[in-house]
Amino acid sequence: MSDQTQSMVSRRGFLRAVGVSGGAGAMLATMGAMGLAPSAAASVTPAFRAPERSDFTLTGRSGAKVVVLGGGIAGLTTAYELGKAGYDCTILEARHRVGGRNLTIRGGDVETDLDGRIQRASFSDGVYFNAGPGRIAQWMVTMDYCRELGVPIEVFTNQNADAWIYNESAGMTEPVRYRTAKADVYGYVSELLAKATDQGALDSRLTTEDRDRLLSFLQSFGAIGGRAGDWAYTGTNRRGFSGYPGAGNDVGSLLGTPPPLSDVFASNVGRYFSFEFGYDQAMLMFQPVGGMDQIPRALAKAVGQHRIRLNAEVTAVTDRGSRVEVTYRQGGRQSQITADYCVAALPPHLMARVPHNLGAGVTAALADFPVTASGKIGLEYRSRWWETDQRIYGGITETDLDLSHIWYPSYGFHGKRGLVVGYYNTGANARTYSGLTPEQRSERAISQGVKIHGDKYRSELVTSYSHAWDRTRYIEGAWTSPRYGTPGYNLLLQPAGRVYFAGDWLSHEVAWQHGAFVAARSAVSALHQRVMAG
């Protein structure tokens, strides 16, 4: 489908709904069903519905004043989209920069956490650390905003056959490459299933043709022997080589023979394979060139810096019936801003603490979002030993250590220096690290990383910066687990008087910028619909 076709389809949906006919509810109904017009559907993949495009065009104009609380992706998107339709928006952001959880750390950046710990990043020029979001799936509306805002993107390597798996608690003494682990697990699983199939164990489920087709599939899927070889898995070059094939008669040195079946299952390496099957984590994935914060930067530029008040902490919201008053503290001074409407795009657990007159039900609903902790550390190295010595170009190593994941950079290949994400963890593991000083976090991450990567993990380190989202002022958590379908959740999908709510927590894509974008678009649509109807 060409972009043009899809844009036209989306825009037509909007015009029909909001513009001239504009009956109440029609726009939202159309948005919900805003797949493809029947005539267009015939020429495109029929199953793909693209309801949320960045050519989100509000028809009809309004100069109404809107105050937006929070300058994260949801707040910025709200002001950006309303701005296109003429609204007079002001964003109040408590932090010293926009972006919220979309945070990229570069050399010179300074952050003070809730415990008063100050970190000044000293990364080299050109080295950056995405402390929050790092990847974008192709179908996400985030991609459309990158295109519309002119933010260049590049592939983010989310899976790599040459990255490692290391399960210490399963008794592994050294890491195994993904490709090796997959070859062995797929091989043995195929062997077992082929044997069971051939011995008739599945005859009640399979026709003769099914059985033959399944056996043929398993032979290629697991690289196993045929019937004559009793379907045995005995290894394959998919495991990799200790010396890769070369010129002339050099067939290379295969990476040994597979461990016995029960050792492979005991190592539990297979637990990581399904990650890349996820609809949200499957390759290809993308990242903005130069850091994830290129997105909020571009949004802020499009909104206009004069519309964004930084270091402005919202302290009260009062709905006066015909207008909304918002009180905020900036530079030690208390100020007030009055607007026709307000869109509150703060984390729900923080909005719950802001005094307001929107009702106890709203407070209770806002306070009912369980919050998860998460943390990451960026380790800058003076050499790219993971590329030169271990032949890992991007991707993720999976572990059962409390560091959970190690990410290799998807940019700067073959450069002089580079940044590895030395831990990315959640829940209890994240809280273990967030309770430590930055130096202790770095030491803990390094002492574990050397088990996988050897001495260079320590000796080549230049500097590090760690971010604990549960200890970040004005965020206090990584993401929430909404109680979908409850009266409280549904209450916040509606405006409370003149106050609307937005954020990834009001979507089914929590922990993704996509969720923040679509929730903002939903609030904007409802607000505009009301203004046009009024």
Ligand X SMILES: Cc1cc2nc3c(=O)[nH]c(=O)nc-3n(C[C@H](O)[C@H](O)[C@H](O)COP(=O)(O)OP(=O)(O)OC[C@H]3O[C@@H](n4cnc5c(N)ncnc54)[C@H](O)[C@@H]3O)c2cc1C
By beta-carbon distance, which residue lies closest to ligand PHE? 511
Name the residue nearer to ligand X (CB basis): 407 or 457.
407
What is the nearest approach in angstroms of ligand X to the Cβ of residue 303? 13
With CB under 5 to 8 Å by kind, the binding choice for 280 among ligand X, ligand PHE, none is: ligand PHE
In the chain, the largest separation of any two C-alpha atoms, in whole Å, equals 85
Q: What is the DSSP string of 185-246?
A: HHHHHHHHHHHHHHTTTTTTT--HHHHHHHHHHHHHHHT---GGGTT-----GGG-EEE---
Q: In sequence order, what DSSP letters do the residues of 317-370 get, joined into one string? A: EEE-SSSEEEEEEETTEEEEEEESEEEE-S-HHHHTTS-BSS-HHHHHHHTT--
Of ligand X, ligand PHE, none, which one does residue 69 interact with (CB within 5 to 8 Å by kind)? Answer: ligand X
Block residue for tokens 């597979």: 258
* CA torsion angle 181 187 190 196 (round to 10): -110
Binding residues for ligand X (CB under 6 A): 69-75, 92-95, 100-102, 132-136, 142, 313-314, 345-347, 350, 354, 374, 376, 469, 474-475, 478-479, 503-504, 511-516
Query: Which listed option, ligand X, ligand PHE, none, makes contact with residue 265 (CB within 5 to 8 Å by class)?
Result: none
Tell me the β-bridge partners of 89.
66
- Nearest distance, CB of residue 477 and ligand PHE, angstroms: 13
CB of 280 to ligand PHE, least distance (A): 6
| Minimum CB distance to ligand PHE, residue 133 (Å) | 7
Nearer to ligand X, 72 or 482 (CB): 72
Chosen from ligand X, ligand PHE, none, partner binding at 475 (C-beta under 5 to 8 Å by type): ligand X
d(CA 409, CA 190): 34
Residue closer to ligand PHE (CB basis): 406 or 511: 511
DSSP state of 403: T
DSSP-derived pairing of the beta strands 136-137 and 164-166? unpaired
356 contacts 495 by C-beta, under 8 angstroms: no
Which residues between 485 and 514 bind ligand PHE (CB under 6 A)?
A: 511-512
280 binds ligand PHE (CB under 6 A): yes
Kindly state the smallest distance separating residue 174's Cβ from ligand PHE, in Å: 27
Q: Which two tokens stand for residue 319?
A: 């709905």
Give the interface size with ligand PHE as a residue count (CB under 6 A): 5
| Comparison of 133 and 240: residue with beta carbon closer to ligand PHE | 133
Question: Residue 299 or 430: which CB sits closer to ligand PHE?
Answer: 430
Identify the CA nearest to 139 among candidates 426, 474, 512, 525. Answer: 512
Does an H or E element contain 27, and which? helix 26-32
Nearer to ligand PHE, 138 or 253 (CB): 138
Closest approach of ligand X to the CB of residue 378, in Å? 12
Residue 489, token pair as written in the block: 């959740």
Q: Give the span between the Cα atoms of 525 and 25, in whole angstroms.
A: 10
Q: How far is the CB of 354 from ligand X (least distance, A)?
A: 6
Mutual orientation of helices 513-533 and 3-18 as an angle, nearest 10°? 40
The listed partner (ligand PHE, ligand X, none) that binds 348, CB under 5 to 8 Å by sort, is: none
User: Please, which residue, 391 or 508, has the CB nearer to ligand PHE?
Assistant: 508
468 binds, among ligand X, ligand PHE, none (CB under 5 to 8 A by kind): none
Q: Which residues are annotated as a binding site for FAD?
A: 93-94, 132-135, 314
Report the nearest approach of ligand X to the CB of residue 317 (Å): 10
**Contact partner at residue 223 from ligand X, ligand PHE, none, CB < 5 to 8 Å by partner kind:** none
From the list ligand X, ligand PHE, none, which binds 18 (C-beta under 5 to 8 Å, kind-based)?
none
Cβ closer to ligand X: 106 or 239? Answer: 106
**Residue 141 binds ligand PHE (CB under 6 A):** no
Neighbours of 250 (CB within 10 A): 10
Compute the least distance from the CB of residue 347 to ligand X, in Å.
Answer: 5
Q: Is 209 exposed, middle or buried (0-12, 13-18, 19+ CB in 10 A)?
A: exposed
Both structure tokens of 409: 């950079």
> CB 465: neighbour CB atoms within 10 A?
25
Contact status: 467 vs ligand PHE (CB under 6 A): no
Residue among 135, 309, 376, 521 that touches ligand PHE (CB under 6 A): 135
Burial class (CB in 10 A: 0-12, 13-18, 19+), 147: middle
Which residues would be at the binding site for ligand PHE (CB under 6 A)? 135, 280-281, 511-512
